[in-house]
Structures are given as C-alpha cells and as structure tokens.
Amino acid sequence: MLTPDKTSLKIAIVDDEKELADICSKVLVRIGYSSPSVFNDGTSLIRSMMNDKQSYDVILMDYRMPEMNGIEAAKILMRYRPQTKIVMTTGYDFKATSG
C-alpha cells in the first residue's frame, strides 16, 4: 500500500468541544497536513458523507458526544466506508467514574 502525501490526505475531526477541534485542526495544519473538515457531532459527519458524498481517509472522532456518539458513528461509517481509518479520542476520565 502506498502512503499518501500529507497534503493529499482528507482528514475530518469530529468533536463536540469546538475549542479542542480547533486546536487539533491547527496542529495538523502546522505539521503539514491539509486543513481538515470539522464536525460537532457524529450525525453531521454521517449526513455529510451520505448526502454530500464526502469521503475522508482519516477521521479523528471523539468517543463521547451528544446526539450520536463516536462508537455509533464509527459503526455506520465502517458499514459504508470500510476503507476509512477512524481514530477514537476522548478527554473523558474513565477512572473518575469507576469504583
């Protein structure tokens, strides 16, 4: 498999926390990637990919979001776009809620 050039990768960021999505977007651009598309929830990403026929090589997606969480969105994406790589992220502290 050929590794695409950084600037040719289509990247999406999905996070309900706008500030985090903006920081992640700026970091990606700073290290040489093209400016990613940013979505505030899984529903808007799915809608864009299904209705507008958008496709992405890599999706950085928050695990916990309102409306449609990252796991639900990833299940749908993998059914229709199995070649898309999905990286789940979270700022959620699992230790704080256990025990």
Q: What percent of the chain has pLDDT over 90?
A: 66
Q: Which residue has the tokens 């928050």?
A: 62
The total domain count for the chain is 1
pLDDT of residue 91: 73
Residue 1 lies in a domain: no
Residue 97 lies in a domain: no
Show the domain range for 13.
Answer: 7-90
pLDDT along the chain (99 residues), means of 10: 75 94 96 95 92 90 89 93 92 61
Residue 86 lies in a domain: yes
Residue 2 lies in a domain: no
CATH number, domain of 67, equals: 3.40.50.2300
DSSP states of 16-37: S-HHHHHHHHHHHHHTTPPPPE
pLDDT of residue 97: 57
pTM for the model stands at 0.85
Residue 68 lies in a domain: yes
